[in-house]
Amino acid sequence: MRLIDGKAIAQEIKEEVRDRIASEGIKAALAVILVGNDPASQVYVGNKKKACEFCGIRSISHELPAETTEEEVTELIRKLNNDPEVSGILCQLPLPEGINEKRVIETIAPEKDVDGFTVRSAGALFAGEEGFLPCTPAGIIELLKRSGVELEGKNCVVMGRSNIVGKPMAQLLLRENATVTVTHSRTKNIREITSRADILVVAVGKPMMVDAGYIREGAVVIDVGIHRLNPDENGGRKLCGDVDFESVKEKAGLITPVPGGVGPMTIAMLMANTLKAAAASCDSNRRKFRNALSEMRRSLS
């Protein structure tokens, strides 16, 4: 068994983002909205800010109290949509009860949707058009490619069909010419299906559910899950995934650990998406400037 080092690959991507921002003098800024005081969200937002700092992306923090209304959040997003200094907007989920997450996310302008969560971004992915890819599945494709895993023609099984992981994951694997099966909580004989996979992506949200009985000898296993454990009861381990690592590690050919697998890639891809948004906005400003200049020249001649 070989481990896929998500931490090292994520670092490589962040360095590429940092170097491009520095060498091309791109001004990138990520607006991060956090509503309420969910401790896990605070940690995620803190990590995203640190990554921005490393890459040379300005992070603009909007930390709002739990009593904030949906209208106040959407109003803030509209302002950020119109702010030329802001390249990307991220609204940390989950939002407090009483705020409709779908309506809030749909307020984000498509050109600033660096999380790739809007229906417009999902539609672009489905139709094979240009758009922002959701960070976790896009990060998994990068992990696989940069670990030398061939995807074309491979039998891939995605466990889970959520809008943010399972469904976009399946689309991205299809784009890479893999043969894709998606399983979910109503799938019958699930082990029979998963144990035929060359590549198994597990995103079920159930701690350590997938053991050796689910996988084929030598399979590539990507564990998307992340769960906090009580360290007193788990030999000092603070986190685990959806895969029972100890059970699977001898059977799998390649496997992502938790922590240090998919998690760091999600943040690295957020940085890459923010750079993409900033670069597109620079290009569009240059185009506008050139058009204005030629318009001026025409009116003077």
Instruction: Tell me the catalytic residues.
Output: 48, 92, 115
| Nearer to ligand NAP among residue 119 and residue 293 (C-beta) | 119
Residue 35: which residues within 8 A CB-CB, separation 6 or more? 64, 65, 66, 68, 73, 91, 92, 95, 96, 99
| Nearer to ligand NAP among residue 68 and residue 194 (C-beta) | 194
Q: Which strands form 220-223's sheet, in the order they lie side by side?
A: 2-3, 254-255, 220-223, 199-202, 155-159, 179-183
Q: Strands, E, within the chain: which ranges?
A: 2-3, 29-35, 58-64, 88-91, 155-159, 179-183, 199-202, 220-223, 227-228, 239-240, 254-255
| Nearer to ligand NAP among residue 10 and residue 33 (C-beta) | 10
Residue nearest to ligand NAP (CB): 162
| Nearer to ligand NAP among residue 14 and residue 86 (C-beta) | 14
Phi, psi (rounded to 5 degrees) for 35: -110, 125
| Closest CB 77 distance from ligand NAP, rounded Å | 21
Site for ligand NAP, rule CB under 6 A: 136, 159-162, 164-166, 183-187, 190, 203-206, 224-226, 242, 262-263, 266
- Stated as kind and residue range, the H or E segment containing 146 is helix 135-146
Tokens of 38: 């969910």
| Closest CB 259 distance from ligand NAP, rounded Å | 9
| Nearer to ligand NAP among residue 86 and residue 108 (C-beta) | 108
Residue 200: which residues within 8 A CB-CB, separation 6 or more? 156, 157, 159, 194, 210, 214, 215, 219, 220, 221, 222
| Closest CB 266 distance from ligand NAP, rounded Å | 3
Chain center to CA of 227: 17
Distance between CA atoms of 154 and 52, rounded to whole angstroms? 35
